[in-house]
Structure 1
Amino acid sequence: MSAGKIGVLGMDNATWRRHASPWSVYTRMATLPLLVAAIWSHSTLGLGPSLALTLGVMIWLWTNPRLFPAPKNTNTWASRATFGERIWLNRAKVPIPSSEETTAIVLSLVTGVGFMATIFGAVFNDLLITLPGLLITYTGKLVFLQRMVGLYETMRDAHPLYRFWTTYPDNDNRRQDIASAN
């Protein structure tokens, strides 16, 4: 994918850099209970307000990776997990180890099943389905993200595209510009 080109989820390179912010990663992870509450609310607020709240959460999920500034330090768990996700999504163009691909698919399926159970439980206001669904979703996603950190660590030096994601140039020109201005 060329620089700036829109890819999966409507995210271009600048959006992915912003999404590597721990603020983006952790606030996005904290959104699932809000989605559950929005869906669950249909029984007390009615369908219209519940749908409006659900739409609000969906808009937040789309806006979140675009909201926070790109991190100054990308040597964090959240940033490396985001880099791993990008590598995972790019696996058709730059192959990843087959064991990592299989593991990521299984973890994605586990997370998806947990998510569907969570949504089903919220629609039917059933805590005995919703709570285990939340637990499965979060466990699957966190293990997936940890594997994405490992995938990034493996692939970082395996392909030139990924080698410099955590490296920023040290621009000495700024110091010279300041000195010459005085």
Structure 2
Amino acid sequence: MIKLFELSERVMKMDAATWQRHANPWSVYSRMTILPLLALAVFSRVWLGAWAWLAVALVLLWVWVNPRLFSAPQSLDNWASRGVLGEQILLRRSDELPRHHKRWAMGLGLASVPGLALMVWALWQLDALLIVAAVILAMGPKLWFLDRMNWLYADWCHAHGKDLGDV
């Protein structure tokens, strides 16, 4: 699963400057729009027909633009920024981390799969209520993942004698 995170980082072309910008809470919180927007874009085939592919393409563009859109944050002393910093540590220093952090990251990544599968089926069926439920089921583990990345970041800072805003 860690390899999947690394692949995602490569596909997104996340260099150090992009990670810094992504640590801006505006970037983190605005990314929470991606799954609902993607579901809406696919659902829009009802109104837009084949033009719904354009809506899907715009959402995918948003996925790539988002971590580059905002400036580096003035402070890293907030939940969203620490979650991004924890994610970087997971990607860069996975071999140094306690197993429980890696297990939780993998487990929460996998925990989104049922919600995503349900979302695909609900979109196929055009069941709006089920789509909303599926998006919530898929996003819940992602939010929990960010919270775990805060914990990972705090543990890493403590183990390396750093203050939470130093890394």
Which TM class, normalised by the smaller chain length?
A: 0.7 to 0.9
2:154–2:164 contact (8 Å) kept in structure 1: no
Partner of 1:111: 112
Partner of 2:58: 56
How far off its partner does 1:112 sit? 2.8
Q: Which digits, 9 at most, give the CA deviation of each residue in 1:26-78, with x for residues without a partner?
A: 1111222111110001122102x111100000001100000100000110100
Structure 1 unaligned residues grouped into runs of 5+: 1-5, 169-182
Partner amino acid for 1:55?
A
1:37–1:122 contact (8 Å) kept in structure 2: no
Partner amino acid for 1:9?
M
- Mark the CA change 1:119 to 1:103 in structure 2 (over 3 Å): closer, same or farther: same
**Which secondary structure does the structure 2 equivalent of 1:46 belong to?**
helix
**Which secondary structure does the structure 1 equivalent of 2:74 belong to?**
coil
Partner amino acid for 2:35?
L
**Partners of 1:62 and 1:11 in 2: CA distance:** 10
Number of residue pairs matched by the alignment: 159
**Partners of 1:78 and 1:151 in 2: CA distance:** 13
How far off its partner does 1:103 sit? 1.2
**Which secondary structure does the structure 2 equivalent of 1:30 belong to?**
helix
How far off its partner does 1:137 sit? 1.3
**Partners of 2:49 and 2:28 in 1: CA distance:** 31
1:18–1:71 contact (8 Å) kept in structure 2: yes
- Mark the CA change 1:17 to 1:165 in structure 2 (over 3 Å): closer, same or farther: farther
Partner of 2:6: none
Greater relative contact order structure (CA < 8 Å, 6+ sep): 2
Partner of 1:178: none
Larger radius of gyration: 1
Q: Report the aligned-residue RMSD.
A: 2.2
Partner of 1:12: 15
**Partners of 2:35 and 2:28 in 1: CA distance:** 12
Q: Which digits, 9 at most, give the CA deviation of each residue in 1:121-155, with x for residues without a partner?
A: 22331235322211211211111110010000011
Partner of 2:130: 129
**Partners of 2:28 and 2:101 in 1: CA distance:** 22
**Partners of 1:61 and 1:83 in 2: CA distance:** 19
Using the size of structure 2 for normalisation, the TM-score is: 0.85
Deviates more, 1:126-135 or 1:141-150: 126-135
1:1-182 equivalences under 5 Å are 7=10, 9-47=12-50, 49-92=51-94, 94-159=95-160, 163=162, 166-167=165-166
- Mark the CA change 1:8 to 1:164 in structure 2 (over 3 Å): closer, same or farther: farther
**Partners of 2:99 and 2:131 in 1: CA distance:** 33
